[in-house]
Amino acid sequence: RLQGDWSSDVCSSDLGRRGRTRSAAEVSERRWRAAAAVIGGDGIYLPGGEREPLPGGLAHAGTLGDLPAQLDLGWGGGKLPPHTGQLWLTAAFLERAGLPVPPPDQQIEDREQLLTGAAGLPFITAAVAAGWEISEASRARLGHRMRIWRAGNRAGAQLVFIPYISGEVHLLAGDPDPAALAARLDLYARTTGVPYGRSAAYSGHDLLVQLDARRKIVVTGPVDPVPARPAGTGLVSFQRAPAGEEAGRRFVHSYDTTAAWLGAAKGTELGVGEAVHRDRPDFDPRLPGLWRVTAPAWETWAIPDPFATRRKRDDGTAWFYTPLLAMAADPALLGAEVKPLEAWVWPEHTRYLDLWASELNKARLALAGPPPGYQPEDPDARAVLSALKDTYSGAVALFGSPQLDGDQEAGRDRHKLYRPDWAHMVVATATARLYRKILQAEEASPGTWPLAIDRDNLLYASDDPDPERACPAPLKTGNQLGQAKNKGSGLMAGAAELLTAGRFSFDKDLTPPGGWDRVRGGPRAEST
């Protein structure tokens, strides 16, 4: 049976007992052998250690086009067309097929020339001559992905040219052999609910579209972004010299918010339709919107002003999204009076990413290893967990990416998920939650301020060598959303000089949890 046959006899119902909608992983386990296979120079590698022989001849790419149907490769189905089965092609296979393999550290211009030339080689051109279809872009230049199909098999195959991938793909960490990569691709699909797509970020959007079948309010088409720019990105990076009692403390510990953007995506109200302009509205902390206000006063030097911006208008006002202003207006925090002069708000709104975030969080917890680092011992699981992190963080950033906006010259329509307001709202929520915890910690223990902030990572001074005990309330250590993980500790004697010089690095200047002595403080003897 061809993969292109989407009839319901293969998957008669997406509903389980009592009307429960089955997950994509459950549907796919019944219908498909796997989402992807890896083709090496000596065979086709599938999850579970299976290996099939290469097709005979390999005259052109069309010899791969029917493999997904023959091997039952694909993913999903039911209410939505299934994902095309993927074939990941290794360098060894490309060499056997007569396609070039870019040398390491090749210059961009040389790489472009190589990929353009590859599109004109017989492995590609002979497939077209034999009646196979590929995209116009792949006929002019090979990228890292190419779909190939024909009239008798519309599903065809999704070819992934591994050596042509640019940028970091965590599934390829450590240069896995074909069998290990096949296992990673399968684990990713089974835990996230979607196969690894064009990138981790696009995979996150694939999951969101897939989950639309389970929600009441659905984004049906693109909308115009609001004609106003927010005051800033909401991302914070700063460090300062220890002052007063801080300088006399013996240790520093870092606390990284667990999956901050994923946690922010869960629970954030997002606009669904078009934004509406309002003059001099009352501020509503429950309404997603972009508000023009005079920035609330910020009276501490210890951490950056979240409302500082270079994008102030001549009257001193600037545009801020709801979450930051709601934090400022909270009587238990700043108690600022927020009086908007105008706003763009979304009257129709919902927690659109709640289900998406819940599914990805389940996947994250399923892959996590033991405390304190929560890193899996298995290298394949570690690679998939890293890819999962890129999936949700990349998907949030992709909402605001020009890649999804319309481009007449490229013949590209605006995607319905081009929502810069969603990206800004999620990041603003994460930033507001971080500042709430910082302010609450200082209120609980006056004078307790972070020495450095790197996005979602906070550095605090302490006399306690144990980072778990030293964690300032209301921060709680753990791997659940809303908690924080200790990412490293160090001696104040070394950190103070770096902080004063503005050269402190969370990645390089702290000892990871596994190498830190929680009793006496300092690196463990075996790691010194």
Read off the pLDDT band of 528 (50, 70, 90).
Answer: very low
What are residue 488's phi and psi, to 5 degrees?
165, 160
What whole-number distance in Å separates Cα of residue 188 and Cα of residue 87?
15
Residue with tokens 């509903």: 15
Q: What confidence score (pLDDT) does residue 235 get?
A: 83
CA atoms lying within 13 Å on the CB side of residue 25 = 12
Give the tokens for residue 141: 């230049």
Say how far residue 409 (Cα) sits from the centre of its chain. Answer: 29
What whole-number distance in Å separates Cα of residue 84 and Cα of residue 75?
7
Pairing of strands 36-40, 43-45: antiparallel
- CB distance 145 to 161 below 8 Å: yes
Give the tokens for residue 416: 């319905």
What whole-number distance in Å separates Cα of residue 93 and Cα of residue 123?
12
Residues forming a β-bridge with 74: 84
> Torsion over CA of 103, 109, 113 and 116, rounded to 10 degrees?
110
Pairing of strands 289-294, 342-345: antiparallel
- In terms of C-beta density within 10 A (0-12 exposed, 13-18 middle, 19 or more buried), how is residue 316 classed? exposed
What whole-number distance in Å separates Cα of residue 456 and Cα of residue 513?
18
The pLDDT tens digits for 168-190 are 999 999 999 999 999 999 999 99
Q: Please count the other Cβ atoms lying within 10 Å of the Cβ belonging to residue 527.
A: 12
What whole-number distance in Å separates Cα of residue 522 and Cα of residue 251?
8
How far lies 518's CA from each of 136, 460, 465, 466, 489, in Å?
Answer: 60, 16, 5, 5, 10
Q: Which residues of 142-181 are buried (b: 16+ CB within 10 A; e: fewer)?
A: bbbbbbbbbeebebbbbbbbbbbbeeebbbebeebebbbb
Mean predicted lDDT score pLDDT of the chain: 91
Q: Whole-model pTM?
A: 0.91
The pLDDT tens digits for 24-45 are 566 556 689 999 999 999 999 9
Q: What confidence score (pLDDT) does residue 238 get?
A: 95
Q: Does residue 408 surpass a pLDDT of 90?
A: no
Q: What confidence score (pLDDT) does residue 451 get?
A: 98
Task: Please report, in angstroms and rounded to a whole number, the separation of the first and last CA atoms in the chain.
Answer: 60
The pLDDT tens digits for 39-69 are 999 999 999 999 999 998 889 999 999 999 9
Q: What confidence score (pLDDT) does residue 28 get?
A: 59
Give the tokens for residue 154: 């519309």
What are residue 489's phi and psi, to 5 degrees?
-140, 160
Per-residue 3-state assignment (H helix, E strand, C coil) for 29-80 = HHHCCECEEEEECCEEECHHHCEECCCCCCCCCHHHHCHHHHHCEEECCCCC
What whole-number distance in Å separates Cα of residue 36 and Cα of residue 23?
18
Give the tokens for residue 407: 């481009």
- CB distance 325 to 248 below 8 Å: no
- Region for 67 from its dihedrals, namely left if φ exceeds 0, alpha if ψ lies in -120 to 50, beta otherwise: alpha
CA atoms lying within 13 Å on the CB side of residue 364 = 22
Higher-confidence residue of 478 and 13: namely 478
Q: What confidence score (pLDDT) does residue 312 get?
A: 85
Of 183, 217, 191, which is closest to residue 88 (Cα–Cα)? 183
DSSP H helical ranges for 251-353: 260-265, 322-329
The pLDDT tens digits for 81-122 are 899 999 999 999 999 999 999 998 899 999 999 999 999 999
In the 8-state DSSP scheme, what is residue 225? P
What are residue 309's phi and psi, to 5 degrees?
-160, 150
Q: Does residue 424 surpass a pLDDT of 80?
A: yes
The pLDDT tens digits for 476-501 are 999 999 999 999 999 999 999 999 99
Q: What confidence score (pLDDT) does residue 100 get?
A: 97
Q: Does residue 12 surpass a pLDDT of 50?
A: no
Helix, strand, coil shares of the chain, percent, nearest 5, are 35, 20, 45
9 Cβ contact partners less than 8 Å away, ≥ 6 residues apart? none
Q: What confidence score (pLDDT) does residue 187 get?
A: 98
Q: Please count the other Cβ atoms lying within 10 Å of the Cβ belonging to residue 98.
A: 13
Read off the pLDDT band of 16 (50, 70, 90).
Answer: very low
Q: Please count the other Cβ atoms lying within 10 Å of the Cβ belonging to residue 463.
A: 12
Q: What confidence score (pLDDT) does residue 410 get?
A: 80
The pLDDT tens digits for 239-297 are 999 999 999 999 999 999 999 999 999 999 999 999 999 999 999 999 999 999 999 99
Per-residue 3-state assignment (H helix, E strand, C coil) for 416-470 = CCCCHHHHHHHHHHHHHHHHHHHHHHHHHCCCCCCCEEECCEEEEEECCCCHHHH
Average pLDDT over residues 314-335: 95
Q: What confidence score (pLDDT) does residue 26 get?
A: 63
What whole-number distance in Å separates Cα of residue 506 and Cα of residue 457?
8
Average pLDDT over residues 66-77: 94
What whole-number distance in Å separates Cα of residue 35 and Cα of residue 71?
10
Q: Before 372, cis peptide (omega within 30)?
A: yes
Of 23, 27, 18, 98, which is closest to residue 58 (Cα–Cα)? 98
Q: What confidence score (pLDDT) does residue 526 get?
A: 63
Q: Please count the other Cβ atoms lying within 10 Å of the Cβ belonging to residue 87.
A: 24
